[in-house]
């Protein structure tokens, strides 16, 4: 794996106006999670581990704790910095799941992966699930509702020192694609993310624990998703690192005319474009090819710095 070495920022560097990027000198260098820090001076990869029967991409394929542990360890070996475990589908139109059912789906997996030494984040919008996940060893919580559904998640992260990802989503999974029009897409998303971050800070979360996610595919059109990726860096202007999750999303299928299983190249392209635009964290299904592509893109970027 490529290892980044720190070098002095180039004061003469100029960014093209068409590609808004958070300058290196302003970009956060660490993300504080429960068991330490994650280095943001290179791309960070979160490997997706869905334990839902109805996920749009890989629902129902993992049926045992042994499979979970094997997949989590494999993704870690392939370069994942965290394994993001989820037990409730957030695909368009998905119905909500009760907290107890969600925990039953992910609890054994979180415990098994933690025992195996795998760093875990848990994708949930419920404080009851987040509380149990943190007790079982999770180091971060990924809340796709941006704390709108259950602000108590922020209190749990404050008390435990866990990392917190807040995402932008219009409505909920059942309604989010009913209205994908925005007067100012970038500005509205940025303002919403800053409100979510402020809510977390009011409950005691330190800014260094917070990551923002503009929510590709969550209440956005094809054109909106492309704009988000092209302007990834602008969502971190308040000082928070930016995560994007383009993996296997429908906008790639719309662009290329391909199904879910044929969207790897599109995912890699979206991640690299997001990296060059200022994103630092990437939530993906296919860890190894994305990790390799991001490391090469980062090396090229640094050589040109």
Q: What's the pLDDT at 12?
A: 32
Query: How many CB atoms sit inside 10 A of residue 240's CB?
Result: 25
Specify whether the backbone of 161 is left (phi greater than 0), alpha (psi in -120 to 50) or beta.
left
Cβ atoms of 16 and 278 within 8 Å: the answer is no
Q: What's the pLDDT at 67?
A: 86
Query: How many CB atoms sit inside 10 A of residue 155's CB?
Result: 18
Strands 82-86 and 44-50: parallel
Q: What's the pLDDT at 173?
A: 63
- Residue 116 in any domain: the answer is yes
Please report where in the chains the tokens 């037990």 appear, as a residue.
87
Cβ atoms of 178 and 171 within 8 Å: the answer is yes
Q: What's the pLDDT at 66?
A: 87
Specify whether the backbone of 239 is left (phi greater than 0), alpha (psi in -120 to 50) or beta.
left
- Residue 7 in any domain: the answer is no
Beta strands in 59-127 (DSSP E): 82-86, 120-123
Cβ atoms of 193 and 235 within 8 Å: the answer is yes
- Residue 141 in any domain: the answer is yes
What backbone phi and psi angles, to 5 degrees, belong to 38? -115, 125
Beta strands in the chain (DSSP E): 30-33, 36-39, 44-50, 82-86, 120-123, 140-143, 163-167, 210-213, 243-244, 281-284
Count of domains observed in the chain: 1
- Residue 270 in any domain: the answer is yes
Indicate the pTM of the whole model: 0.87
- Residue 246 in any domain: the answer is yes
Enumerate the active-site residues: 249, 283
- Residue 15 in any domain: the answer is no
Q: Which positions of the chain have pLDDT values less than 70?
A: 1-26, 54-63, 91-94, 171-178
Instruction: Say which CATH number the domain at 76 has.
Output: 3.20.20.20
Q: What's the pLDDT at 263?
A: 98
Q: What's the pLDDT at 54?
A: 52
Distance, in Å, from the CA atom of 55 to the CA atom of 34, rounded to the nearest integer, reads 28
Write the CA distances from 164 to 33, 50, 190, integer angstroms: 8, 19, 17
Q: Tell me which residue range forms the domain holding 243.
A: 30-303
- Residue 271 in any domain: the answer is yes
- Residue 254 in any domain: the answer is yes
């Amino acid at each position: 794996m490529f290892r980044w070495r720190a070098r002095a920022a180039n004061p003469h560097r100029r960014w093209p106006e068409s590609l808004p990027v958070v300058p290196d000198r302003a970009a956060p260098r660490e993300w504080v999670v429960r068991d330490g820090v994650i280095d943001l001076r290179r791309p960070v990869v979160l490997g997706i581990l869905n334990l839902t029967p109805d996920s749009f991409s890989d629902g129902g394929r993992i049926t045992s704790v042994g499979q979970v542990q094997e997949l989590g360890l494999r993704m870690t070996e392939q370069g994942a910095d965290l394994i993001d475990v989820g037990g409730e589908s957030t695909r368009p139109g998905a119905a909500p799941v009760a907290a107890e059912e969600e925990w039953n789906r992910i609890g054994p997996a979180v415990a098994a992966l933690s025992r195996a030494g795998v760093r875990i984040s848990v994708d949930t919008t419920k404080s009851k699930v987040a509380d149990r996940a943190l007790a079982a060893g999770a180091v971060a919580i990924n809340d796709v509702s941006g704390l709108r559904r259950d602000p108590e998640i922020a209190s749990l992260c404050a008390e435990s020192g866990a990392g917190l990802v807040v995402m932008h989503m219009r409505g909920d999974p059942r309604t989010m694609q009913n209205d994908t029009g925005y007067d100012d897409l970038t500005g509205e998303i940025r303002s919403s993310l800053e409100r979510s971050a402020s809510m977390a800070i009011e409950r005691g979360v330190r800014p260094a624990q917070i990551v923002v996610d503009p929510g590709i595919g969550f209440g956005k059109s094809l054109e909106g998703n492309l704009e988000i990726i092209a302007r990834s860096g602008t969502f971190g202007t308040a000082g928070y690192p930016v995560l994007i999750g383009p993996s296997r999303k429908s906008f790639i299928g719309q662009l290329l005319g391909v199904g879910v299983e044929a969207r790897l190249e599109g995912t890699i392209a979206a991640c690299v474009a997001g990296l060059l635009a200022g994103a630092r964290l990437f939530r993906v299904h296919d860890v190894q090819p994305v990790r390799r592509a991001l490391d090469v893109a980062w090396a090229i970027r640094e050589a040109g710095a």
